[in-house]
């Protein structure tokens, strides 16, 4: 930790040196009433922001910062309060302004990083005149997700920032993602402002949290701000600290324009909207800009800031963060991490982002086979708004045509499915998620297997070795003896239910985070599931050899519960190669659903038939056996852990 501390100090002094804004003597803290009453006139939202107005904010009057924290420590609530404080949004807009997606509102989690531009008047005492000096600042705030699956979003957001508010719950203290996020920010050389939030809670213990921050990150306790995003207490300290402790963005105002493409999404009416951070120069409406990745040139149709909705300004200057709309037809053209620059100039591309590593793969198929085109369209649209999913077409004997998708984790996969349903009305069946394994054949060729069905043990090739991905897991158990545990674990073991189990055995107290690590040699086998003797390719899994027997039995058992009895007997088997390791039989059903409709009530009969049809939509027919979607979902829980 000593090395880290020295690094940290060096980073901080470099950051201070970068901040060429004169160091104010002491900030005047805004009165608390500002937080509870209407925002003052200069902070009220304005209908638009003109180019000349934006021109009044050179880099030294700009601060770009992010809010990072462990899940639920209060990032989005704090972001809301800051937006209210600066008059960017009105009070009483409803919860979590920046969590815009339905899935975010329903789950109460942030999935997508969101940027908002605020205007803020900073007032400092002037010891010479014994009065006060005020200057206006443009602040770009990026609210980031807290869950480990979305740390890629966090690391991307940090590239556009020079500082971060590290929010820590005053009662829970430092948790696993606090550590992960601190290091993401620290490695990006950001100035870190610790914010101990939720001090209104009866169990709040800010002194203890300060001691943890000192011990783990060498943060001076006097640097910590104490806030309650709920009551407003202490919030007036936050923006003055942002101005004073975070350096302004670097960049050359006189160079041709060069910007980093931070994110992109597709809007039905406006087309592709790119979020950008201007590193050098200025971009104006009508300008021609080129992509360093594709060399394509586009005209700037619209440019502006997120205030917090898209607000056209006609221009963006050095250090500013905003949006640009060009003639891009698909987000495939808008590559995240790309450098956009003035057309016909040669520029040094910006470093961009580290490539996404997909941890979990799963097949996504239409619940109703005829809907493939609709699903294809929905996936294309959604991947436009979530570029961290990888998609390739695949065909399954059991499920027909579908897609193999790569995700950052299981929550990410879940959210993707939910968004497909909610935002695009797609009904999907997903297959058991798997991690990417590596297999070596006798001729020393290696393959990465993202779909267990694709692994062939007997196609004339002998498998000589296998490797599986591992992670370094950090677990914090804040009991009487607070402990930080670090383990290397196989990725497969943590992708399903591990977190829930950890929470349940620690009464909800343990927190968990992981980072990907190297591949490790392992003894793996492919297990097939057979229904009436037919292998269901979509249910094949790769599993540790010594667990195969137990998991096979559980899988077969589970399937028996989920597959409805049909007019004939069904045998359910788990097999490794030609060896059956578990077997169950589902006896034939005698009555059919319409048998209940005695008396010939036609409306009732129709209703029942419709209900049956609805149910069928979520079924997949394998051979002659109907399998409900839940069966696929439940299988993944069994096939992962234990």
Ligand X SMILES: Nc1nc2c(ncn2[C@@H]2O[C@H](COP(=O)(O)OP(=O)(O)OP(=O)(O)O)[C@@H](O)[C@H]2O)c(=O)[nH]1
Interface residues with ligand X (CB under 6 A) are 69, 71-77, 96, 108-110, 145-146, 197-198, 200-201, 228-230
CB of 371 to ligand X, least distance (A): 32
Q: 337 a known binding residue?
A: no
User: Distance between terminal CA atoms of the chain?
Assistant: 35
Neighbouring-strand partners of residue 483: 477
Nearer to ligand X, 77 or 639 (CB): 77
What are the backbone angles phi and psi of residue 55, rounded to the nearest 5°? -65, -15
* Strand 258-267 versus strand 271-280 pairing type: antiparallel
Q: 146 a known binding residue?
A: yes
Nearer to ligand X, 110 or 431 (CB): 110
Is residue 642 within 8 Å of residue 551, measured between CB atoms?
yes
- Counting Cα atoms < 13 Å in the Cβ hemisphere of 248 gives 18
CB of 201 to ligand X, least distance (A): 5
The helix-helix angle for 629-640 and 548-562 (nearest 10°) equals 160
81: which DSSP letter? Answer: H
CB of 250 to ligand X, least distance (A): 29
Residue at shortest CB range from ligand X? 146
Q: 287 a known binding residue?
A: no
H and E: helices and strands count for the chain: 16, 32
458: which DSSP letter? Answer: S
CB of 171 to ligand X, least distance (A): 9
Nearer to ligand X, 145 or 322 (CB): 145
Reported as type and span, the H/E element at residue 419 is helix 410-424
Q: 508 a known binding residue?
A: no
Nearer to ligand X, 150 or 439 (CB): 150
CB of 149 to ligand X, least distance (A): 11
Nearer to ligand X, 197 or 320 (CB): 197
- The sign one gets for the Cα dihedral 305, 306, 308, 313 is positive
* Closest by CA position to 550, among listed 630, 632, 488, 640: 640
CB of 162 to ligand X, least distance (A): 21
CB of 233 to ligand X, least distance (A): 8
Is residue 105 within 8 Å of residue 203, measured between CB atoms?
no
Q: 70 a known binding residue?
A: yes
Q: 143 a known binding residue?
A: yes
Q: 563 a known binding residue?
A: no
Reported as type and span, the H/E element at residue 615 is helix 602-617
Nearer to ligand X, 209 or 282 (CB): 209
Q: Which residues of 410-521 form beta strands (DSSP E)?
A: 428-430, 437-441, 446-449, 463-477, 483-490, 511-521
Q: 144 a known binding residue?
A: yes
Q: 545 a known binding residue?
A: no
* Closest by CA position to 636, among listed 540, 572, 570: 540
Nearer to ligand X, 227 or 451 (CB): 227
Q: What are the binding residues for GTP?
A: 69-76, 143-147, 197-200
Q: What are the binding residues?
A: 69-76, 143-147, 197-200
């Amino acid at each position: 930790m000593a090395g880290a501390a020295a690094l940290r100090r060096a980073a901080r002094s470099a950051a201070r040196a970068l901040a060429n804004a004169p160091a104010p003597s002491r900030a005047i803290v805004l009165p608390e009433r500002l937080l509870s009453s209407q925002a003052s006139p200069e902070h009220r939202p304005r209908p638009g922001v003109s180019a000349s107005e934006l021109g009044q904010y050179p880099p030294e009057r700009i601060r770009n910062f992010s809010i990072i924290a462990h899940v639920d420590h209060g990032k989005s609530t704090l972001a809301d309060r800051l937006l209210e404080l600066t008059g960017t949004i009105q009070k009483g807009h409803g919860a979590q302004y920046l969590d815009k997606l339905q899935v975010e509102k329903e789950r109460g989690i942030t999935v997508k990083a969101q940027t908002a531009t605020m205007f803020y008047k900073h007032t400092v005492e002037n010891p010479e005149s014994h009065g006060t000096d005020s200057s206006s600042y443009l602040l770009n705030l990026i609210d980031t997700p807290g869950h480990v699956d979305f740390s890629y979003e966090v690391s991307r957001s940090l590239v556009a920032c020079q500082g971060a508010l590290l929010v820590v719950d005053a009662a829970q203290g430092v948790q696993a993602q606090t550590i992960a996020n601190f290091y993401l920010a620290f490695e990006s050389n950001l100035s870190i402002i610790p914010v101990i939030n939720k001090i209104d809670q009866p169990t709040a213990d800010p002194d203890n949290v300060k001691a943890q921050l000192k011990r783990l990150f060498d943060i001076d306790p006097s640097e910590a701000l104490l806030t309650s995003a709920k009551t407003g207490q202490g919030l007036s300290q936050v923006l003055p600290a942002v101005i004073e402790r975070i350096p302004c963005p670097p960049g050359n105002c006189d160079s041709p324009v060069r910007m980093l493409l931070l994110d992109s999404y597709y809007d039905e009416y406006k087309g592709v909207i790119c979020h950008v951070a201007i590193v050098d120069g200025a971009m104006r409406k009508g300008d021609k800009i080129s992509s360093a990745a594709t060399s394509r040139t586009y005209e700037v149709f619209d440019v502006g800031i997120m205030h917090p909705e898209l607000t056209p300004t006609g221009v963006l200057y050095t250090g500013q963060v905003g949006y640009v709309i060009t003639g891009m037809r698909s987000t495939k053209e808008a590559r995240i991490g790309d450098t956009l620059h003035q057309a016909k100039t040669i520029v040094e591309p910006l470093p961009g982002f580290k490539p996404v590593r997909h941890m979990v793969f799963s097949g996504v198929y239409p619940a109703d086979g005829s809907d493939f085109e609709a699903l294809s369209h929905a996936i294309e649209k959604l991947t436009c708004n979530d570029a961290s999913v990888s998609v390739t077409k695949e065909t399954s004997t059991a499920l027909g045509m579908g897609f193999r998708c790569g995700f950052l984790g299981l929550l990410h996969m879940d959210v993707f499915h939910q968004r497909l349903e909610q935002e695009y009305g797609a009904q999907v069946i997903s297959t058991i998620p798997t991690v990417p394994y590596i297999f070596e054949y006798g001729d020393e060729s290696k393959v990465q297997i993202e779909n267990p069905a694709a692994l062939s043990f007997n196609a004339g090739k002998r498998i000589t070795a296998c490797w599986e991905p591992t992670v370094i897991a950090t677990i914090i158990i804040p009991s009487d003896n607070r402990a930080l545990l670090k383990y290397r674990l196989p990725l497969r073991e943590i992708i399903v239910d591990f977190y829930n189990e950890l929470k349940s055995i620690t009464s909800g107290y343990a927190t968990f985070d992981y980072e990907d690590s190297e591949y490790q040699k392992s003894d793996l086998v492919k297990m097939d599931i057979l229904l009436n003797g037919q292998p269901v390719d979509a249910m094949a899994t790769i599993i540790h050899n010594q667990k195969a027997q137990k998991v096979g039995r559980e899988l077969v058992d589970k399937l028996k519960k989920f597959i409805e009895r049909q007019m004939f007997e069904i045998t359910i088997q788990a097999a490794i190669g030609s060896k059956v390791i578990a077997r169950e039989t589902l006896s034939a059903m005698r009555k059919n659903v319409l048998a209940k409709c005695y008396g010939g009530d036609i409306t009732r009969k129709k209703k029942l038939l419709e209900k049956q049809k609805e149910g069928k939509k979520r079924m997949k027919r394998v051979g002659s056996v109907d399998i409900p979607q839940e069966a696929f979902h439940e299988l993944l829980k069994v096939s992962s852990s234990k």
